[in-house]
Amino acid sequence: MLTEEEGRLGIKLAREAIERYLREGVKIKASDDLPPVFNDKRGVFVTLNKYDTLRGCIGYPYPVFRLKDAIIDAAISAAVSDYRFPPVRKEELSDIRIELTVLTTPRVLRVKPKDLPKHIEVGKHGLIIKKGIYQGLLLPQVATEYNWTAEEFLCETCWKAGLPQDAWLEEGTEVSVFEGQIFKEGDDEDG
């Protein structure tokens, strides 16, 4: 788990990465002065919201990069590479709030499909659903924001993967859970 201060540093790093990239087209290099946790390999997502509306969200569900590098890459990608949105413009930056979700390593639920909802805790777990070439991920906060049940969360994650909503009930569909520690820009400060 990250401390609140480490979370603030992660948010600051994400904002600095986006600002510098939009201003100069340069990918920053993270400082070596960051706390040691930033050198750990961690999954992470950076979410951008403008006026409480999603403006971009990109991340790495698996711990394949050092946290500081994953934050920089995800932040820049959320700003300019999320196919659902046009790239963020410099003029928009003051209206964008950054949310950083640091993930635990996903673990596959090895239970009968009909028992999956009993093993998913809404508000605590995020989901990854895979079947064949299809894969979808929803962060833990999404189910809470929409007030979904575990079954609805499974259906919506299937839908995000491009699968039928009941694909989680089929043999061969892999369902993984993970947890996320969420830090939001401005939660405890003015910026």
**Could you give the CA distance from residue 83 to residue 188 in angstroms, rounded to a whole number?**
31
The model's pLDDT over 72-121, given as tens digits with 9 standing for 90+, comes to: 999 999 999 999 999 999 999 999 999 999 999 999 999 999 999 999 99
pTM exceeds 0.85: yes
pLDDT per residue over 171-180, tens digit each? 999 999 999 9
* Of residues 119, 117, 124, 183, the one with CA closest to residue 156: 117
Beta strands, E only, the chain: 43-50, 53-60, 96-103, 107-108, 125-131, 134-138, 174-184
Q: What are the structural domains of the chain?
A: 4-103 (3.30.700.20), 107-179 (3.30.1490.150)
* CA proximity to 57, closest of 99, 120, 89: 99
Q: What Rg do the C-alpha atoms of the chain give, in angstroms?
A: 17
- Please answer whether residues 41 and 65 qualify as being in contact, where contact means their C-beta atoms are separated by less than 8 angstroms: yes
State which amino acid sits at residue 81: S
